Amino acid sequence: MTRIHRPAPFGRGLCAMVTPFTSSGTLDLDGAQRLADRLVREGCEGLVLSGTTGESPTTSDTEKTELIRAVRAAVGGRATIVAGVGTADTRHTVELALAAEKAGADGLLAVTPYYSRPPQDAVEAHFRELADASGLPVALYDIPGRTGTRIEPETMIRLADHPRIVAVKDCAYDLLGTQKVLAETELAYYTGCDEYVLALYALGGSGYVGTVANAVPRHFRSILDAYDAGDTGEAARLQRLTVPLTELMMARGLPGSVTAKALLGRLGLPSGPVRAPLRPAGQEVTDGLLAAYEELVGSGTR
């Protein structure tokens, strides 16, 4: 079977890890270390810290740095650490990038500046300034549904000429645009949409950055493993099995940080509360998540 997907600079299967908090809402570094260790043991090749699932809008710069140091101490060289550094302010983004590099991150994930809706030349300049500032490889995070501004395919193609811009976390829901960039560049594409893990991988992507993987890391890894083994039918079956849990966790109006923490808490895994303005999932939602999780686990893979 011909392999068409790109080398994965941060590993193939990455988890967008939640940030555990204590019951009083402070950063739970011990819990973060235990969760990170479990995720890596269960098949995650990389961890994205301080992404949206990690509640980056409500964690301080100091907490972000402490989290990187703690997780690095827990996983050592067993997995890559990609630090979310995206903000609406280019200067602040650069400051976070330099702090992440010093704390031991392997790469950076930067979302398009949000709310101010910069034009494409300003988006490009923002990412170039970030990539120039540190020695770490950069993944661009394209999620216009949250930021209000996408990274247009033509902008991606131009940015691909920067030696440290190496990857994309793709949440644009534009497979045509994605294929245009794949055809024109060597950028490694990771889907950030759990329902597209197999689809993007088969089109030439490098892997995924998954939120649902907080609960079932081994199952998502098994999708890629089956595809790589040439068993595309099994890969498709495994992807379809994730639909009920993915729908409940990602497509019912609640942020993934809320639903992931609700399920992890019910499973007795480190999570803790979410920070305001987010609010915890209700009992009915949590019961549904647990039932979908148990159904998926009962399918024979986790």
pLDDT at position 301 over 80: no
Among 64, 114, 141, 261, the one annotated catalytic: 141
Dump the DSSP string for 19-51: --B-TTSSB-HHHHHHHHHHHHHTT-SEEEESS
Please name which of 134, 68, 57 lies closest in space to residue 95, comparing C-alpha atoms. 134
CA distance 83 to 99: 10
Q: Is 168 annotated as a binding residue?
A: no
227 noted as active-site residue: no
Active-site option among 64, 115, 169, 180:
169
Name the helix (H) or strand (E) containing 93: helix 90-103
* Exposure letters 188-225 (e unless 16+ CB within 10 A, then b): bbbbbbbbbbbebbebbbbbbbbbbbbbbbbbbbbbbb
User: Does the structure show a pLDDT above 60 at 16?
Assistant: yes
The neighbouring-strand residues paired with 111 are 141
pLDDT tens-digit series, residues 20-64:
999 999 999 999 999 999 999 999 999 999 999 999 999 999 999
Mean pLDDT for 199-227 is 97
Nearest Cα residue to 82 out of 239, 208, 176, 256: 208
What does DSSP say about strands 107-111 and 138-142: parallel, antiparallel, or unpaired? parallel
Is 258 marked within a binding site? no
pLDDT > 60? residue 246: yes
* pLDDT tens-digit map of 121-147: 999 999 999 999 999 999 999 999 999
244/247 Cα distance (integer angstroms): 5
Q: Give the residue carrying structure tokens 């030349």.
A: 121
Identify which has the larger pLDDT, 253 or 33: 33
Answer yes or no: 141 catalytic: yes
274 token code pair: 């979410």
C-beta separation of 108 from 139 below 8 A: yes
The C-alpha atoms of residue 255 and residue 135 are separated, in whole angstroms, by 32
Q: Where are the alpha helices (DSSP H) in 42-89?
A: 61-75
Separation between Cα atoms, residue 242 and residue 226, nearest integer Å: 15
Integer Cα distance of 31 and 20 in angstroms: 6
Residue 2 has pLDDT above 50, yes or no: no
Q: What is the pTM of this model?
A: 0.96
pLDDT digits (tens, 9 = 90+) for 108-123: 999 999 999 999 999 9
Cα distance between residue 20 and residue 17, in whole Å: 9
Phi/psi for 179 (5° steps) reads: -65, -35
Give every CB contact of residue 284 below 8 A, 6+ residues apart in sequence. Answer: none
pLDDT band at 300 (very low <50, low <70, confident <90, very high): low
